[in-house]
């Protein structure tokens, strides 16, 4: 089903309104945006595509996309030797921070990266003879 020009325009303006204050679309805001799209006759898949397009053209950050990119990066790190070490974790944090354009504090990003690792069942390399418990210390 084709989206009317007026519905598309209203949806785009609603997206811009939702990110007006911070340029960041978190999961809750994205859900509200998609619900608005459904009310305008826009499917979820079309709504996601429009959100991605508007975010890309306006420099907005979409949390879902940042999480997916981070998951891919961590997956690559884990596939090298089966574990994620501290340097790889710190690299993932740096990528996440760059992708969010400084919208989140580093401690929040560390918690999110840790949760991605736990959710995906990846192992981390910590401890050892002189190693620290760097991963376990993240709250």
Domain count, the chain: 2
Question: How confident is residue 131, by pLDDT bands cut at 50, 70 and 90?
Answer: low
In a shared domain, residues 38 and 81: no
- Tens of pLDDT, residue by residue over 56-78, are 999 999 999 999 999 999 999 99
> Last residue of some domain: 40, 59, 78?
59
In a shared domain, residues 67 and 115: yes
Please state the pTM of the whole predicted model.
0.84
In a shared domain, residues 41 and 82: no
Q: How far apart are the first and last CA of the chain?
A: 46
The whole domain housing 23 covers 5-59
Q: Cα dihedral angle (128, 134, 136, 139), rounded to 10 degrees?
A: 180
In a shared domain, residues 18 and 41: yes
Q: Is residue 40 part of a domain?
A: yes
Give me the mean pLDDT over the 51-57 stretch. 96
Least confident of 36-45, 84-93, 112-121, 122-131: 122-131
Give the pLDDT confidence score for residue 99 in this predicted structure: 94
């Amino acid at each position: 089903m084709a989206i009317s020009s007026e519905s598309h325009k209203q949806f785009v303006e609603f997206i811009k309104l939702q990110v007006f204050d911070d340029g960041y679309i978190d999961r809750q805001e994205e859900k509200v945006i998609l619900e608005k799209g459904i009310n305008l006759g826009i499917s979820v898949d079309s709504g996601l595509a429009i959100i991605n397009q508007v975010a890309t053209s306006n420099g907005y950050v979409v949390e879902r996309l940042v999480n997916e990119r981070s998951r891919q990066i961590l997956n690559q790190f884990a596939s090298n030797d089966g574990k994620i070490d501290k340097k790889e974790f710190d690299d993932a944090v740096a990528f996440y921070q760059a992708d969010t354009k400084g919208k989140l504090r580093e401690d929040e990003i560390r918690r999110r990266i840790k949760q991605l690792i736990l959710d995906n069942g990846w192992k981390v390399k910590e401890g050892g003879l002189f190693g620290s418990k760097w991963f376990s210390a993240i709250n």
